[in-house]
Structure 1
């Protein structure tokens, strides 16, 4: 995975910042599918079936996009799933605000970025330049 953190390209092996690591885990750990989703298989973390806090979920539903064709509407769904997966940042008071973008960058390419403004007003900007290929491995 190619990840750009505050302008510096990194691999997942170079992640030392706990917040950056938490974001990557939140996005690339598969959350249990919702009732309205029609997953091809029973994907998602089994622990979501028995949360310690009611309705608490870990991960994202980005994996649901891998069974779809990449269209101009796909980034809209990706942005929704990313926002959902990272909503805990503001709910738990880790971040003051969160801005998520997802863009189709080619026939078979989609990227996403996340800008997190922490409570101390510092900014963490993450960019996933090869999100589509990461989902479709």
Structure 2
């Protein structure tokens, strides 16, 4: 059974289910899973430096306490960081960490994440998911640097 399709409404800065014919659209399961993995908040590690506005809140999903495989990413930790090469490398590492489950579950043989700052105040993540059959799925995600957890403009292409 397919999952409800998750879309991002950039005009309202929220994630939502996609409507379809009086109900909810299904499909695009891989894209939905990647969006949830990257743009929900994974609990910060004890040694992570929290953004000033977090005020001690390490975030995360309450059920992760009993789950050996946490959900989400630590990209939210970068919301007040300067746009430096070091910060971009951290964004890549956080993205790979959030998507590691795709490899562990046998959905992908490899996941590549490339971060860049295409313009001032914007973080772009290029995600390439490679399956054993060499089928690829590429996603380009752009979010305001200061609102990493709340907004994304997604462009999807499939195959090479």
Same-fold call, TM cutoff 0.5 = yes
2:80 equivalent to 1:64? no
Q: Would you tell me which structure has more helix in proportion to its own residues?
A: 1
Q: Distance in 1 between matches of 2:149 and 2:71?
A: 21
Alpha-carbon distance change, 122 to 2 in structure 1, aligned in 2, over 3 angstroms: farther
2:128 equivalent to 1:112? no
2:134 equivalent to 1:124? no
Q: Which position in structure 2 is the counterpart of 1:47?
A: 63
Where does the alignment leave 5 or more consecutive residues of structure 1 unmatched? 4-10
RMSD: 2.4
Q: Distance in 2 between matches of 1:110 and 1:129?
A: 6
CA contact (8 A) 1:32 1:46 kept: no
Q: Distance in 1 between matches of 2:17 and 2:118?
A: 26
CA contact (8 A) 1:2 1:129 kept: no
Where does the alignment leave 5 or more consecutive residues of structure 2 unmatched? 1-7, 19-25, 151-160
Normalising to structure 1: TM-score of the pair?
A: 0.79
Alpha-carbon distance change, 136 to 89 in structure 1, aligned in 2, over 3 angstroms: closer
2:98 equivalent to 1:85? yes
* Count of residue pairs the alignment pairs up: 127
Q: Deviations over 1:111-132 (max 9, x none)?
A: 1110001233221100013352
Tell me which of 33, 45, 52 is aligned to 1:34.
45
Q: Which position in structure 2 is the counterpart of 1:8?
A: none
Q: CA deviation at 1:133?
A: 5.2
Query: Greater RCO between the two (CA within 8 Å, min separation 6)?
Result: 1
